[in-house]
A = this chain, B = another copy of it.
Amino acid sequence: MADTSTRRIDYKEIKNTLYGVLLKNGFSKEDADICSGLFTDTSLDGVYSHGLNRFPLFIENVRKGFVKPDKQPTLKQSLNNFEKWDGNLGPGNLNAKFCMDRAINLAREYGTGIVSIGNSNHWLRGGAYGLQAANQNCIGICMTNTMPNMPPWGGKKTTIGNNPFIISVPHKPYPVLLDMAMSQFSYGKFEILREQGKMLPMDGGYNKDFELTNDPDQILESMMALPMGYWKGSGLAIMIDMLVAVLSGGMTTSEIGELEAEYGLSQLFIALDTEQLSNVGLADRIIQSIIDSVNNTNPIESGGNVFHPGEQTYLRRLENEKLGIPVNPDKWKQITEL
């Protein structure tokens, strides 16, 4: 997804720049440090759409008051290994990191920890909280709702969210990580391919006559992205909305859609401590054997690879650690001027 006109910038320079912008926009030093780290890590891992490239929109939402940099989550309910928090419209990535920290702590105490939050904000890259759990030897499961941005299967209007769903499993040298939204492709992907004059490799949305198409231009005209797996991703998106809204007491996708912007999201974070529920040696062997069975599958593409979830992200991280993080010069200029 890196643009051909990118330059590469060192991790520290990026993080320091974001840190400075956050300080100027009402973040405490501690929060600015964590928040700038999360944004930079996201670009480092090659998830460019939710790292630096989204930082200007994040700051715009802070300035408009949708994201409140001085707010912390407050506890609404605690029941054994379950906690329910109010996000008080604080920064979504800080709130999400906080919730996964709580889930991990509960998992240390009980074996498993389940934390919900309502009235929070876009968590940026969901995979970050999966990695956070996995790096503490916990299986992580995270889900969030979003504003309406996808039609339910068979429908003509975007009334469901593309509600991201994350599962992570601890492993060395890097965790196994699935981080997926419920749309087959992101709107960002449509924009990139349209600029390049390319078609999608398969249908990814509808044209204005509600016919499936692989033309990103037509999908951006209708703004009707296709759920992954057609009725299956549509169904999973609906269930995720129910789970996060019921368990947090927060807003549904439909309620978020009535606001002037996408804020006040509902989320769920689960941590399962593999040290207590399995044992690290056994878990490692099981995970490695599954990785091997996938990676050793003969590839369709001659000379290609069959990857397991999280592998390509890790390879991009290694490259970006070595060479610097690819940054679009226009976007970088925009960030330095924030």
Contacts and interface: CB of A to CB of B under 8 A. Distances in A.
B299 A154 contact: yes
Contacts of A146: none
Interface in A179-236: 180, 184, 202-203, 210, 212, 228-230, 232-233, 235-236
Contacts of A277: 77, 79, 82, 84, 116, 246-247
Interface string A285-300: 0110110011011111
Interface stretch (A22-30, A46-54, A301-309, A319-327): A301-309
A239 B176 contact: yes
Contacts of A287: 242, 246
Given A80-B81, A278-B246, A306-B154, A297 B178 contact: no
Interface in A229-284: 229-230, 232-233, 235-236, 238-239, 241-243, 245-247, 249, 252-255, 272, 274, 276-278, 282-283
Contacts of A308: 152, 238
A112 interface: yes
A153 interface: yes
B238 A309 contact: yes
A335 to B, nearest CB: 31
Chain B CB within 10 A, most for which of A152, A167, A241, A246: A246
Chain B CB within 10 A, most for which of A180, A242, A301: A242
A286 B244 CA distance: 10
Contact of A239 (B116, B159, B309): B309
A111 interface: yes
A160 B253 contact: no
Contacts of A272: 114, 247
B245 A290 contact: yes
A111 B110 CA distance: 13
A164 to B, nearest CB: 11
A169 interface: yes
Chain B CB within 10 A, most for which of A228, A232, A243, A306: A232
A110 B294 CA distance: 37
Nearest to A80: B110
B274 A246 contact: yes
A102 B188 CA distance: 44
A151 interface: yes
Contact of A151 (B114, B246, B282, B297): B297
Closest 4 CB pairs of A and B: A228-B229, A155-B297, A254-B293, A229-B229
Interface of A: 77, 79-82, 84, 110-112, 114, 116, 139, 151-157, 159-160, 167, 169, 176, 178, 180, 184, 202-203, 210, 212, 228-230, 232-233, 235-236, 238-239, 241-243, 245-247, 249, 252-255, 272, 274, 276-278, 282-283, 286-287, 289-290, 293-294, 296-301, 304-309
7 contacts: A82-B112, A155-B300, A159-B296, A180-B235, A228-B230, A229-B232, A252-B293
